Amino acid sequence: MTPKDLEPIILSEQVGVWAYVDPDSESSVIVIKAASTAAKSISRGAAVKLYLGVAGSSKLFLGGGLKIYDTHDNPLLIPIFARTESEVIGWRNIVNADSFRVVVMDEFDAPVLRGTGCLNRVSHTLPKVLATASWMSNVQELAPFIEAICNAIDPGYTHPSSMPAHVHDLELQLELKQTLIISASESGTFQYDLNDMDEGTTQEKHLHQHLHLSFGDNVFLSPQIERGKKIRELTDVLVVSKESTLFFESKALCLNDSKDESDYERRVGKVISHAKKAVGQLEGAVKSYRKTEYKVMNSIGVELPRSDSPNQTAIVVISEFVPHESWESILELIRHAYLKSDVRIVVIDLAELMRLLKISSYRKRNLGFLLNQLFIASLEGDTLNIRSEDSSLPFSI
């Protein structure tokens, strides 16, 4: 069982590493949350390094980082910063434990890997250092704290920080097994396999399942549109509610399995190329949907209802957003589709979409409204890399 002060943070964050003591079993637990691409890398044996220490001036705060070597020369670094008492107690217990439980979660909050871990090399001074550290409660100190911790782990990640920091490099050994996950709804069952090579179909079905949890029978997988004598797929997933109509195109490509920089660049280029295609597909889908003489049906040919609301948003869902200069061309296509056809298109990765779904559920705000806010922010900020925050939490990355 996760402590009550920590559970909403784990479920709401897109990425993170936390430790706590299970109040029922009194066992120590580490939870790692990252994109499914990173989870796949861990499952396939990618090296993982843990760093723990403190940073601060007048007061020391517990922190560190987790490196996942999912690429050859640019490993993923997830900063660790304690925001609750449960985390501080958890990490103190981890460094003193012979072994501990480990759970790896993906952006869908699915516990895709479970097992045990142990630390093979712990300095005798580290438990004493952590005993003097506290958790962070001031959001103003968060940015300099993360900067200091990351600089202490690897000076190449960021520029030098004025805040003192010191971390210990710990030898983390993991023994993990994949968790069998089966999702079920009225539309059928879907078995989630972390190592499934057909990532496109897997992501599309998983997206459909999670939208179904929020919108029920108003979600349709692979809807069709009849134009004269021709019938073709309208979009990957369609959501029709009284507040809005949402058109989803799912584009899944693993970005973190590259072997070298050129391969990584090629994969990013493929994601951008597919996103360009999806923008064009969605613009055409929304324009066709607006023509009431065209019949819209589910995958077995039953005509679907239409929303009375004029609010329509099209969404390109990608596996993972990686900043790259070529995204500017996608932004121009989105701006052009809006000015020319009054079609609002959003590009979002899985982690951010899941966060919006949670905010929509917790705050009772329509998902279409939140996506429209994201669309406006993208045009006003001239960027696709927009992140949301749930203000009810004790601040986030």
User: Does residue 200 surpass a pLDDT of 90?
Assistant: no
396 within domain boundaries: no
User: Does residue 63 surpass a pLDDT of 90?
Assistant: yes
Domain boundary at 178, 213, 230, which? 178
390 within domain boundaries: no
Domain span at residue 307?
A: 181-381
C-beta pairs of 191-194 under 8 Å, 24+ apart in sequence:
192/110, 192/112, 194/36, 194/39, 194/40, 194/43, 194/106, 194/112, 194/113
30 within domain boundaries: yes
User: pLDDT over 70 for what percent of the chain?
Assistant: 86
Q: Are residues 357 and 256 in the same domain?
A: yes
- pLDDT per residue as tens digits for the range 316-325: 998 877 777 7
User: Does residue 153 surpass a pLDDT of 70?
Assistant: yes
**Structure letter (DSSP) for residue 256:** T
Number of residues in the chain: 397
Q: What are phi and psi of 251, to 5 degrees?
A: -125, 110
User: Does residue 29 surpass a pLDDT of 50?
Assistant: yes
90 within domain boundaries: yes
Q: 354 with 14: CB under 8 angstroms?
A: yes
Least confident range of 20-34, 242-256, 260-274: 260-274
Q: Are residues 141 and 213 in the same domain?
A: no
Q: Are residues 362 and 285 in the same domain?
A: yes
User: pLDDT over 90 for what percent of the chain?
Assistant: 51
12 within domain boundaries: yes
Q: CA angle, corner 244, sides to 240 and 248, nearest 5?
A: 65
Q: Are residues 279 and 167 in the same domain?
A: no
392 within domain boundaries: no
Residues ≥6 apart with Cβ < 8 Å to 266: none
User: Does residue 109 surpass a pLDDT of 70?
Assistant: yes
Of 109 and 253, the structure prediction assigns the larger pLDDT to: 109
Domain boundary at 178, 193, 219, which? 178
Taking the C-alpha atoms of residue 44 and residue 57, their distance in angstroms, rounded to an integer, is 40
* pLDDT at residue 258, rounded to an integer: 42
Q: Total structural domains in the chain?
A: 2
Residues ≥6 apart with Cβ < 8 Å to 201: none
393 within domain boundaries: no
* pLDDT at residue 261, rounded to an integer: 43
Which CATH number does the domain housing residue 273 bear? 3.40.91
The full DSSP string for 93-161 is: HHHH-S-EEEEEE-TT--EEEEEEEEES---TTHHHHHHT-B----GGGHHHHHHHHHHHH-TTSS---
Q: Are residues 248 and 294 in the same domain?
A: yes
- Candidates 153, 194, 179; CA nearest to 41 is 194
Domain boundary at 160, 178, 196, which? 178
Least confident range of 91-100, 205-214, 232-241: 205-214
Q: Determine the distance from the C-alpha atom of residue 136 to the mean position of all C-alpha atoms in its chain, rounded to a whole number.
A: 23
- Candidates 117, 133, 1; CA nearest to 66 is 117
Q: Are residues 173 and 214 in the same domain?
A: no
Range 95-108 average pLDDT = 92
- pLDDT per residue as tens digits for the range 350-380: 888 988 888 887 777 889 999 999 999 999 9
Q: 384 with 375: CB under 8 angstroms?
A: no
Taking the C-alpha atoms of residue 2 and residue 319, their distance in angstroms, rounded to an integer, is 28
Residues ≥6 apart with Cβ < 8 Å to 54: 60, 61, 62, 63, 129, 130, 132, 133, 165, 166
- Candidates 83, 94, 100; CA nearest to 25 is 100
pTM of the model: 0.71
Q: Determine the distance from the C-alpha atom of residue 90 to the mean position of all C-alpha atoms in its chain, rounded to a whole number.
A: 24
Q: Are residues 213 and 86 in the same domain?
A: no
Q: Are residues 43 and 117 in the same domain?
A: yes
* pLDDT at residue 35, rounded to an integer: 80
Of 213 and 297, the structure prediction assigns the larger pLDDT to: 297
The overall average pLDDT reported for the chain is 85
Q: 272 with 262: CB under 8 angstroms?
A: no
* pLDDT at residue 152, rounded to an integer: 93
Q: Are residues 152 and 214 in the same domain?
A: no
Q: Are residues 137 and 251 in the same domain?
A: no
Query: What is the bridge-based pairing of β-strands 237-240 and 224-227?
Result: unpaired
* pLDDT at residue 195, rounded to an integer: 61
Q: What is the layout of strands, in order, in the sheet containing 165-170?
A: 76-81, 61-68, 48-55, 165-170
* pLDDT at residue 199, rounded to an integer: 61
Q: Are residues 223 and 313 in the same domain?
A: yes
Q: How confident is the model at residue 191 (pLDDT cuts 50, 70, 90)?
A: low
103 within domain boundaries: yes
User: Does residue 207 surpass a pLDDT of 70?
Assistant: yes
Taking the C-alpha atoms of residue 55 and residue 94, their distance in angstroms, rounded to an integer, is 19
Number of other CB atoms surrounding residue 240 within 10 Å:
20
Q: Are residues 150 and 219 in the same domain?
A: no
Beta-ladder partners of 247: 238, 314
